[in-house]
Amino acid sequence: MTDLTKLNVSLTKHGAHKIALLLRKYDKDNILLHLENSEPGVNIELAQAKKNLSVSRRGGVVPDLWNDARQKGSETIDALVLVSIILSHHELIDAIRNSAARYRFAGTVKRAQLQNEKAYTNLAHTIEELGYSTEHSKDHIRYDFHKLFQIPGLHTLFEKLLRLKLVTAGWDESNSIIEESIRLKLHEVFSLGKKQFGTWLITGSLTPENGGTAKIEDHEFFSEADDDRPAGKFEFRSGHNTKKTGVTVASASTKPQTSTLLHNEIQNQMYESLVKKHGKGCVGTEVPTGDGTAIDIVVNTKDFCWFYEIKTDSSVRVCIRQAIPQLLEYAYWQGDNSRADKLIIVSPKALTPQAAAYLAFLKGQFKLNIYYEQFQIKQPKAEK
């Protein structure tokens, strides 16, 4: 029977996150040769590195998945190292799961949740250094895992890593990896629903399971919130992870359903369009608000900051109805107007006269800087 307490590694020895630095430079078969002082600032205990990398007990072989991560680049390396460190110790699993249980993708780990101050300091530093921290103090670390689920191909490496961790914990593989992970409540480590976790692990997409085109995060926005969550700080970050497009089949021990990924296509193409206008350093996607939510697209220049929310539902009215509360909360939840200069609803639908009059009324009556843009997908040119 799987026993997560079998997953343990030193929580007081510092530097495990620096495995990511070594993976950028060294092949998986050479990485264990460079743990101690062969690289500036890197001094990782061998036993700690082996457990975090899930090195086989027989033969001491570093799994191939780490070379696969190297081929995908630094962002994939950092994400997989973070996940591996968390899944290498049952106390870290519990700490993240307990902090994330009430909010999607994000949470706050408090100093008191871990066995001692050094264990907390090391976890907080790992989250910070690998790029997933939104706030870090001596008492707590706030994190946002949104971008984990936007890294192309990470789900396949995650599945391989998760399998190794579960086998280490005594899993006999008599059931599926999804079933066992859910039984152990590992989906809650990332604050995902059971079906959402399974869908992502299989398809790499967080597409809703009802076959709709809206994002899972949108459904959660209207059904889940944490009234005790402390206010956070919005910090713009540029960049974009190109998302899967076309049609995907989502299945997680339920009847497979197809879902068009129109939202992803618009976000991909719109990012490229805005970069051409404003520059790569001024455009970001899935930008955390600091309050546990993320903005589809942000354009941030020295003169202005614009928030975009993409909607792909069947009518302009529904798109507007869904987007307005999200944009208002992203911009004004903390009671000031310093975050955004414009709030922009994006849809593939043409604006109707009634919808245009409605938005004009909101702008005139309530002084809301809210706008609507139609974005039409550019189809690839057919080969001759």
Q: Is residue 234 part of a domain?
A: no
Q: Is residue 218 part of a domain?
A: no
**136: number of CA atoms within 13 Å, CB side?**
17
CB 166 within 8 A of CB 181: yes
CATH code, domain with 357:
3.40.91.50
**Total tally of structural domains belonging to the chain:** 2
CA distances from 67 to 30, 81, 85, 248 (A): 11, 12, 17, 27
Domain that residue 114 falls in:
4-203
Q: What is the dihedral of CA 278, 280, 282, 285, to 10 degrees?
A: 110
Token pair, residue 279, equals: 């520059």
Does residue 279 sit in the same domain as residue 190? no
Does residue 17 sit in the same domain as residue 151? yes
CA distances from 341 to 15, 303, 326, 333 (A): 41, 9, 15, 15
Q: How far apart are CA 194 and CA 205, in angstroms?
A: 14
Does residue 192 sit in the same domain as residue 280? no
* Lookup result for tokens 């680049």: 73
Among residues 38, 68, 244, the alpha carbon closest in space to that of 159 is found at 68
Q: Is residue 215 part of a domain?
A: no
Q: Is residue 243 part of a domain?
A: no
Per-residue pLDDT of the chain (384 residues; tens, 9 = 90+): 899 999 998 888 878 889 999 999 999 999 999 888 778 888 888 889 999 999 988 878 999 999 999 999 999 999 999 999 999 999 999 999 988 645 567 888 998 888 788 899 999 999 999 988 888 888 888 888 888 888 989 999 999 999 999 999 999 998 999 999 999 999 989 888 888 888 889 888 875 443 344 555 665 676 566 676 667 788 898 998 876 665 444 433 333 333 346 888 899 999 999 999 999 999 999 898 888 788 999 999 999 999 999 998 878 999 999 999 999 999 999 888 899 999 999 999 999 999 999 999 999 999 999 999 999 888 766 554
Q: How far apart are CA 2 and CA 93, in angstroms?
A: 14
CB 233 within 8 A of CB 292: no
Q: Is residue 340 part of a domain?
A: yes
Give the residue from 152, 186, 203 where a domain finishes: 203
Does residue 73 sit in the same domain as residue 164? yes
Does residue 166 sit in the same domain as residue 271? no
Q: Is residue 217 part of a domain?
A: no
Does residue 97 sit in the same domain as residue 192? yes
Give the residue from 203, 229, 246 where a domain finishes: 203
